[in-house]
Structure 1
Amino acid sequence: MKTLDQWFEEYAVSHQNPKNKAIHYICVPAIFFSIVGLLMSIPSGFLTNLLHLNQPIIENWAAVVLVFVLIFYIRLSVSMAVKIAIFSILCLVINFYIGQFVPLWAFSIGVFAVAWIGQFYGHNIEGKKPSFLKDIQFLLIGPAWVAENLFSKK
């Protein structure tokens, strides 16, 4: 199994251009955020009946999927898993409140589409294909790479 640093080294190969990096710093979290919103939009009657928590922020499909996402990160780095967990909680809370004012699924699709257009534009500038075309796991490495680059003391 690759270490987190090995994943970052491989991911960084197609993320050298400063404009592409800047685009990724915005679009990768936006994509993560929009996927959380889309998952929260899936009817969760089964979960409500199973859990009986009456907590819509955590009683939804996004929270279930995020548990498995965090397991992926814990295997690589506990400290990174904590960072992603904090961001995930923010995504759950903010999406919950957005959903009180607009259809969350529609808002999330819009953010998702715009962010992916930005990503592909950034890779066009870079002149290299997105890493996830080589290995789908890079879709989870991207958020960690952004967190590492934006919040590390390097």
Structure 2
Amino acid sequence: MNATTDRPIDRWFTSYSGDHRNETNQLIHVVCVPAILWSVVALLWCLPVPTGLFVPGTWAALAMFAAWMFYYRASRPLGFGMLATFVLMGFLTRWLYDNLGQIGLLRVAIAVFIVAWIGQFIGHKIEGKKPSFLTDLTYLLIGPAWVLAKLYRKLGWRY
């Protein structure tokens, strides 16, 4: 193996990048992947929890923690970046929940989810390749880390 594919995360990114070479598709992903990630967090936030045992957002917090563990094991720098991302998404989601209520948050999350997925499929139509997650669902987790890794490279940070 060479230096660029020694770690599993590098192999995931190499494979994922192969389906995302078109600049327009990449730009669409930079916008839509975080939007989809947030919308999933928000949708999970809206799931009911047993009264008195848990607080709103418990399911979202558990999912974010599980995803964060995946990212942290793959790359500590990316893990810390995704932790910051999840914390910001959690604060945003809590603020929207407090200001819009559960139904308002649910409506916004559904709208963002639908529009962002439409964007993703338009990007893949432009690219001429099917979305990576259709071959392996793990790519649903790789996409957000891939976008963050693009930011890290732009800033000159190692991941």
Q: Which amino acid aligns with 1:96?
A: R
Corresponding pairs, count: 147
Match of 2:151 in 1: 150
- Local SS of the residue matching 1:16: coil
Q: 1:43 aligns with which of 45, 48, 61?
A: 48
Q: What's the offset of the Cα at 1:86?
A: 0.5
Q: 2:70 aligns with which of 69, 72, 78?
A: 72
Distance 2:145 2:63 in 1: 17
Q: Which amino acid aligns with 2:13?
A: F
Which of structure 1's runs of 4+ aligned residues deviate more than 2 A?
none
- Which structure has the higher relative contact order (CA within 8 Å, separation 6+)? 1
CA RMSD of aligned residues (A): 1.8
Q: What's the offset of the Cα at 1:35?
A: 0.3
Under a length normalisation based on structure 1, what TM-score does the superposition of the two structures give? 0.89
**1:30 and 2:35 are equivalent in the alignment:** yes
Match of 2:90 in 1: 92
1:16-47 Cα distance to aligned partner (Å, 9 max, x none): 0000000000000000000000000011236x
Match of 1:128 in 2: 129
Q: Which amino acid aligns with 2:148?
A: A
Structure 2 alignment gaps of length 5 or more: 1-6
Q: 1:101 aligns with which of 99, 102, 112?
A: 99
- Local SS of the residue matching 2:21: coil
Structure 1 alignment gaps of length 5 or more: none
Of stretches 88-97 and 120-129 in structure 1, the one that deviates more from structure 2 is 88-97
Q: What's the offset of the Cα at 1:90?
A: 0.6
Q: What's the offset of the Cα at 1:101?
A: 2.9
Q: What's the offset of the Cα at 1:119?
A: 0.1
Q: Which amino acid aligns with 1:37?
A: A
